[in-house]
Each structure stands twice: as C-alpha cells, then as structure tokens.
Chain A
C-alpha cells in the first residue's frame, strides 16, 4: 500500500512537471494567439483589437497569475475553453481521445495476435527456416517508417485496387462497416512495426526462459510439450513482453501523428498539432495533460499487471 502511494505521488509530480513545462514553454516562444486569430491573409491586425482580445481571453494578466489560475481550474476538473472557437477543451478531447484509443487498441490487439505466437514458434524452431524468415520480416517491419507503410498501403489498397477508401473517419453508430473499413488501414500500419517489436521480445523472452531449471522440472514430470510451452515457458516469458508492449502503447498515445495525417484520421495528435500552430494555449495544455496522465497511468497499470502475473512482486 505504501508502495502504491509512493508511486502515485511520483506520478502526480511527473504530470505536474510536464504540465508546467508545457505551460511556460508555449508562452515563451514567439507567436501570439490573438494576433494569429485576428490576422487574415497576412495582414497584421489592429493593435487595439488584439489588446481587447487579450483582455477577453485573460492573456493580459501576469504569467504567474495565469499559471496559478490554470492549475486551480485543473484541480476542479476544468480544462478551459479553446481560444479558437470558445468550445470547452474537455469536450473536444472527449471527442478525439476515444478515436485514438480505439486505433491504438486495435493495433495492439493485432500486434499481440501476430507477435506472440510468432515469437513462440520462432524460438521453438530456433535457427530454423521459419525463425530466419520471421527474423528477416521483423527487421524489415522495423525499418520501414510508419508514414511509408501508410502511404504505400494507400497507394496499393485505396488508389490501385480501390478496396477501401484512402482515409477519413465515420462514427461506428453511423456506419459500422465503413467505420471498420476506415479503421483497418491505419491500425494495420501501426500494428506492423508493433508486432515486429512484440515478436522480437517474445522470441528473446522464450529463449531466456526455456533453459531455466523449472522448465527442466516440468519435463521431468512427464508433461506434454504444449503444456510445458504454454503453462511454464510462455507464462513466464509474457511478463517482459507485456511491459515493453505497454510502454510502446504509451508512446503511441501522442505518437500517432503521422498515421493520423496519412489517413486523415481526426484523432488526438491532429488536434494537438493544429492547436500548437494556432497557439491555442488551453487546448495544447489540455491535450498534453491528458496524454501525460494516460502515459503515467499506463506505467502504473503495468506495475499492477506485473503484480498479477508475478506472485513474487505481490508480496514484495
């Protein structure tokens, strides 16, 4: 329990540090949101109008006051309103976040379904034909950048074969089939590199566990091959694999920018890029805050998962 409290404390501190750095950094660099909002076609706006908007948005107050107000609002659960159109930041994030989570979730599922059995079989037939082919494939999957994969998938399946639309998004409720068709290509794009990572981790972990003493004990008991592999080897090999997977998912939370751009998918990172370009302070801060909270929460979840998978951690 003390362990959990300590971890939570560190997590909160980390989130606070990230939020503060973003808050200050975005205000320190050149670019004024009011000017950007008011300038049309490269014409500098009237300084009086800019000052008026500053006052209206509360940007004329000292930075420190803004900082404390900002955090006071955050503590009461208010992420503020967008400087661009006045909509609550929380609502826009609430619209975009589930799409990104769905994308990452489907990609992770595909990666696990391909990577874990692949890694297990490759490790069993170490240095065999299957192992060598799978290793080459994973090296290629890791070498091709996501935007190249995405672009080539669009070229092949959308432009040449015309099986699926090139990109976009429809809500599940409006058009379930269209939703899945649009989700599939970006998910596969992310899953390709991810499954190669899972594959390599699984293979290495299985090779690490297989020569351990308890596997020899399992064989001495006369257990069947499948039972030894699944119940003894894989069960112990899964722990490092899941950790790495979870960490990768964490980086994906904000790292889907390129995939969202290629497939014109309106997710969380697209929102962030637009907001940074417009110097929309509340939106940038809100998105960054949500991402870092999720990231830290995911790390915490990994630790808890470890406790579930490994009884030694539970009592430690």
Chain B
C-alpha cells in the first residue's frame, strides 16, 4: 500500500484547483488593458495593483497558474504515453526496435534540455502548441527508461513465461503484468516531468519563446516586469513567488511520491529516550584474567518495543587462551563481540554489565578513551575481509594507518614495519602486496592483511568474528593455524566467534554456547564435545557433519523471534526434554564443575 505524505499533495492539489476554477472566480479580465492606470499600486478592484498595461496583476497571476499547469500536465501526459509505448515496444519486440528506441533516447539525453527546447521552438515558432510536443519529446526518455527496465525485469520471470505458455499474447502480458509493476515509478517520473515542464515553460516564456503574449504566464510576467523593476519591484516579486512556490510544492510532491514508491529510502525514526545504564559495578578481582566480562546485556529499541539480543553474558579469558563463542545466527554472539569493542550498530546499546581489560571497563569508556584502546590493546577482525577493507586505499596504507593512530611512527619506519607484519602473517612477496589494493588480493590474503592490521600494535585481546566463514575450506585451515600461532607468540587472549563446531574444535581451549541471547553452556572444548550438558549443545553437535559418516540431524523449529521470547527456557519450544518446569521460568546458569556451566534444569539426565 502506497502512503504519500499529505502536505505536498495538498499544496499541489490547491494550486491545481486554482488553475481549474480560475474562469469561475470573480476576477478582472486578465487581458483587459487600462493604460491610464499602468503600474498603479494596489486598490480595491485590483488588490495586487496593475501592470505596465494597466492589467489586473492578481487575475493574471491566477490565470498564469492555469497556463503553467496545463502545459505541464499536457506535456507530461504526452511524454508518458509516447515514452511508455516506446519502452514497451523496445522491451518486447527486441532486435532493431529495441536498439532504435534506446539510441534515439540517448541522443535526446546527450543534449542540454533547455537548449534543445530553445532550438526547436526558435525554428518552429513560439506558442503553447509547439511547446507541449517539444517538452514531451524532452521528457519521453525518462519514461522509456522506466518502462524498458520494467519490461526487462519482468520478461524473464517465471510467471510471464507461464502466461506465455498458457497462450496469452504479448499485448495481454504487457497490460496485465508490466504496467501494474511500473505504475509507481511511472507516477514518480510523471511528477518529475511535470515539475520540470513548469520550469522550462516559464524559462522559455521569459525569453519570449514560450507562451505568446498577451496570454498570462508567469515567465512572461517576470520578463515584462524586468523593464520596470525600478518603479514597480512588486510587479516582479509576485510572479517570482508564485512560480517558485509552485515548483517547491511540486518538487516536494515528487520526493514524497518517490519515498512512497521506494520505501527503503525513508529513514526509520526511533523514539529517542535517554539511556541511563545502571551504575557501574566495582572492578572485580580478576586475578590473571586478560578480560573479565560480567552480565553484559545489549538492548535495541525497535518500533515494536525494546528487545534484548544479549542477556547477562559473563566470562573470563586468560592470556594466551582461546575462547570460542558458538551459536546460530541471531544468538547474540556477534553483538557480544561488537559490544566489547564499542562498535554496536547505532540502534543497539549496552544497558548493563562490565568488561574489564587492562584496567579499562570497556562498557563505560568515553569516545576518546575508547579510541586509544581500539586497535591498541584490543583489536578485532571481521567476517568478510573484502567489505571490511577500504576499496580505494592500498593494503600497506591501511595497515600503517593503524600504527599512526596509536604511536608516533616515521613514515619509512611504518613502511618497513608493514612489510614485517605482512611477512609475519604469511603474505607472500610482502613488499609488492603492501602496494596492492584489496580487490587485487585473494580472499585468504585479504584476511591475512586484516590480521596484520589487527596485530599491528601488539594487542592483548583479539576478537575474531567468523574470520574464516567467507573463505575456502583449504584457506580456512591456514588462517586458523595463523591465528593459533600468533596467539601463542604474542601471548594475547583470543575470542573466536563462530557458528561452526568443527572450526571451534580445532582452535578453542574453552567454548561458550549461546542461544537466543543467553549463554546456555560453557566448558573446556574437550569436555563440551565429549559430554554436552545442554540439549541445545547436543542438538548442535548432532547437526554438524560427522567424521564417522552418520548423517547430521537438523534441529526442529526455529530460533524464537526477539519480540516473542518464551518466558521460561528460551530453548524449551524446540527441546526434546522440555517439561512443565522449563516453561515456567528462565533456568539459572549453574556451575556444575569448575569452569563447567549449563542453563538446563535436566542436565543430570544428559550427563
């Protein structure tokens, strides 16, 4: 359903109404001259005064609206008919007709529109009768393009092929399927053509090449009033204002129509309310941990209310340790990573919790302090290395940039350092590769470059968000090895976010399983794979491909929608072990052994 903003539509409707009703209004004759009172100022019979021939200005102004809109509507309609026909023929007949239709339009487009109109009008003589077809020719290409594109997108679609197979003729297909599909864009195009026609008509009339005097037209009025602008500046201002306001209203209607036809251009407005996070908890005694996360909760304000895609996530990470966060998409694992580095998408925010790294609470840092942490002690690499690298800068520049952001480094030193880094991440021919652009590298090399960028400042914590998902299987193993090596050499903590259990089994020391925003199980990688203590982990293990050849088993049902979370255990609706107590309230995360946690009431039955 199309929704158009009201304001512009009403304004244009009001102007059109004036143009329609003007013959019925009790106005003076716009052509009646009264030379004795030329340039007379406002009086009762002539509220806006009289022009250089003593004609009534108000009457001419309102009649001018009629002239403008008639020319605009007529030329836009003609262009629409002509352009639609040509676009349909070009798109459907193909071959020569297609070529001719498109190339003719190219030639029209290759010429400044005003100049083209001017040439034709000069040659054929002024007047509305020439003006309307000329403007129609100018605006036809826009319609041709819209319809042609519509035909192209439709003609290959299955249902059109099906109609053809059922014996529907081309004309029937055109009218039934294509026209309704392009109706919206055509309407937008029509409004654009009409608005532009008002501009061109007034411009040509201003030059004396459009509407022929003494017919009332805003362009003519402005042109004529120029001569007397010293004595009667108002005579100039009225038609200028009328013309500009009309175009303003029509442009606004164009924008409104375009927004309605193309809803994704419309910004989504969210209710803004002050986000008051709970008071920061005191710094815990973390011992040797590099990272200590407590009760991390992320919220997102949506038009349907606030959702909490990450709830009470707590974990610690030791230096040189790899913690994997595993879950399906929508489990909150990526948002957890982004929250730690302070790069949550605009709508999301941390509502609760703390995350201590090297004496900084990451969830409470201000922008300036966070900038020093990001890319310094804390680094992150992302899933898709191609979109994560800036396409217009060289790899070396992008790596060096990370160093310059944190330390005073001389240019040549940075350059050498970049080569060392690239060599360290196993990039062949690092000197040449430093000068390459992202699109010139393979996927694996791009991810190596991303890793080089991340370790440029010797971070204490590296968050890797699905770093191998976009890569080939053989390259995946290489990148995993590289990350494992670097973690050992640099002694940094690694948070490895993944949906793939085989990958996790290869790289992780400990695993944290997330489901619909909750941690459901945590444990060492060996224990968790050998004896899972949560039905979701069990299901996840069964759904992964097995070495022994048994077929993977899918998990029935789907992840609950964020707006409709079950009140009890979030996995209950899909759980084979679900009982009444599971649906009553959210089970707590219980520590069943040291470092071994599960959020399941019936874990003993699994053990």
Contact = CB atoms under 8 A, between A and B. Distances in A.
Asked whether A and B interact, the reply is yes
Interface of A: 14, 17-18, 21-22, 25-26, 29, 31, 126-127, 139-140, 142-148, 151-152, 154-155, 159-160, 211-214, 216-224, 227, 231-232, 235-236, 250-255, 257-258, 261, 269, 272-273, 276-277, 284, 291-292, 295-296, 309-312, 315
B492 interface: no
B106 A14 contact: yes
B318 interface: no
Contacts of A272: 115, 119
A224 B244 contact: no
B261 interface: no
Nearest to A275: B122
Contacts of B295: none
A263 B226 CA distance: 12
Interface string B252-270: 1000000000000001010
Contacts of B114: 254-255, 257-258
Contacts of B251: 139, 142-143
B244 A221 contact: no
Interface residues of B, number: 66
Contact of A214 (B112, B222, B387): B387
Given A219-B343, A231-B393, 5 more contacts: A31-B123, A145-B203, A213-B384, A217-B388, A315-B439
Given A139-B251, A258-B203, A148 B374 contact: no
Interface of B: 106-107, 110-115, 118-119, 122-124, 199, 202-203, 206-207, 219, 222, 226, 229-230, 233, 236-237, 240, 243-245, 247-248, 251-252, 267, 269, 341, 343, 345, 371-376, 379-380, 382, 384, 387-393, 401-402, 405-406, 437, 439-440, 450, 453-454
A140 B248 contact: yes
Nearest to A236: B392
B532 to A, nearest CB: 33
A26 to B, nearest CB: 7
A159 to B, nearest CB: 6
Nearest to A314: B437
B244 A26 contact: no
A296 B266 CA distance: 35
Contacts of A17: 107
Contacts, number: 185
B375 A222 contact: yes
B206 A258 contact: yes
29 contacts: A18-B107, A127-B269, A143-B247, A144-B244, A145-B199, A148-B222, A148-B240, A151-B222, A152-B237, A155-B236, A214-B389, A216-B382, A219-B343, A220-B454, A221-B375, A222-B406, A223-B402, A227-B401, A227-B405, A231-B393, A231-B401, A235-B390, A235-B392, A251-B113, A255-B113, A255-B115, A273-B207, A291-B115, A311-B392
Given A216-B343, A251-B112, A148 B244 contact: yes
Contact of B111 (A18, A222, A231, A276): A18
B217 to A, nearest CB: 13
- B interface secondary structure, majority: helix
B374 A220 contact: yes
A216 B376 CA distance: 15
A271 to B, nearest CB: 12
B252 A139 contact: yes
Given A14-B106, A258-B203, A269 B243 contact: no
Contacts of B113: 251, 255
Contact of A151 (B124, B236, B376, B439): B236
A212 to B, nearest CB: 7
A216 B119 CA distance: 52
A101 to B, nearest CB: 15
Nearest to B375: A222
A147 B392 CA distance: 41
10 closest residue pairs by CB, A with B: A222-B375, A254-B115, A143-B248, A221-B375, A255-B112, A222-B374, A213-B387, A311-B437, A254-B112, A214-B390
Nearest to A217: B388
Given A251-B113, A315-B440, A222 B373 contact: yes
Contact of B391 (A25, A142, A252, A310): A310
B339 to A, nearest CB: 13
A139 B256 CA distance: 13
Contacts of B384: 213
A284 B384 CA distance: 56
A159 B374 contact: no
B110 A14 contact: yes
B145 to A, nearest CB: 15
From B110, B202, B371, B454, name the one whose CB has the most chain A CB atoms within 10 angstroms.
B110
B123 A26 contact: yes
A15 B247 CA distance: 34
A222 B391 contact: no
B405 A147 contact: no
From A216, A220, A232, name the one whose CB has the most chain B CB atoms within 10 angstroms.
A220
Contacts of B402: 221-223
B219 to A, nearest CB: 8
Contacts of A311: 391-392, 437, 439-440
Contact of A221 (B199, B248, B374): B374
